[in-house]
Amino acid sequence: MSTSEFSVREMPHPVPQTKIVEAYGTMKCPCLIDQVTSENVEVRVNALSAICSELKNPETAFGLIDGGLADHLLNYLSLSNEAENVDSQAVVKKSSQALSAMARDVLGRNSLLSSSSLENLAIIFNHENVDVREYGFLISLHLTSSKKGVHRLVDLNFPALIMRKLEEEISPLKVPLLKILRSLSGDEKGLEDGLNNGAVPVLCDLLADSLDDVRKEAAYTLGMLCFSDPAKKEAIELGAVEQLCEIMQDESWEVRAAVCHALMTITTTVEGKKGIEPSGGLPHLVHLLHDNHDLVKLNVLKVIASVSAFPPNRAFFQESDACLMALNSLMDAEDEIIANQARICNDVVNWEP
């Protein structure tokens, strides 16, 4: 019985226009750029999805960035104003996701910072979709990893924007906002803009937030701002010392460490040192010398050394057997940094005029 070696087969189905097929060689990145700027919204969205994945490949990421991807994505963010257009919002979401991926890389960040459309980033801070807003916050946070990024965002008035968002945003998304504010406060104008837009009272309020991470970041950011004398004065007047002393025994060790960090900067003034005792903070400081976490102990040693410059506080520690015993123990700690700080603290506590 013979069998035929040939057969007639149907032609393969054509590839749908909306399907993104990977191109190879030098045409890969230009092809994706063409597709992401397509008039067909479905093609554009699918291309953006592909780009989010391709940005994990350093070689492809370089080609896309070099091809001007940043400008296209930032321009798409302006579609946020078309809230009722489902297609436009799909483009916005995928664009913000791709921008977040770009911002993780130094080349991507430099491309974004060099774009004349970077101001569009502020638009998605108010987007109704929580994922889009989070992408916007993460992009901004990545951009603040360089002085150039900090200066650019300050010039775009981001400190005022951050302060508005901190008052209305859901708690989980306040964490990246606080980190951004802290970075922007490293710039003189950024610090001034933050303070002029109510940074200190907002941070004081956030010390009572229900989320550990929010309380932690609020305390660290308050400490950062209080390197500024005007911020320190305002914080003391608003009762920040009392608030910090109240959460000094927080269940989260990271919050405890952040609280002590904030107290380190606030208590460099006489008013700050005086405020510790009536706030009930002195016994709490002694208790934290026995904390299980080294960062808490290191920070509390610095606070005790600072507030002991005020005679009534120093007398309290001198009369506290628990404090003196803890200091003697910490001076022999295996961690040389803690041991050294304990010796400094012990000298201050036991100083006699």
**Domain assignment present for 332:** yes
pLDDT of residue 2 exceeding 60, the answer is no
| Predicted confidence (pLDDT) at residue 3 exceeds the cutoff of 60 | no
Query: What pLDDT is stored for residue 353 in this prediction?
Result: 80
Please tell me whether residues 219 and 352 are part of one structural domain: yes
**Whole-number pLDDT of residue 35:** 85
207 lies in the same domain as 334:
yes
pLDDT at residue 38 is higher than 90: no
Q: Which of 50, 84, 118 is the last residue of a domain?
A: 118
Lowest model confidence (mean pLDDT) among 60-64, 106-110, 216-220: 60-64
Do 209 and 76 belong to one domain?
Answer: no
* Total of domains in the chain: 2
pLDDT (0 to 100) of residue 288: 96
The answer to whether the CB of 262 falls within 8 A of the CB of 219 is yes
CB 272 within 8 A of CB 309: no
- Report the predicted TM-score, pTM, of the whole model to 2 decimal places: 0.90
Q: Which domain holds residue 212?
A: 200-353
Residues 104 and 210 in one domain: no
Tokens of 6: 């040939």
Average pLDDT over residues 99-126: 95
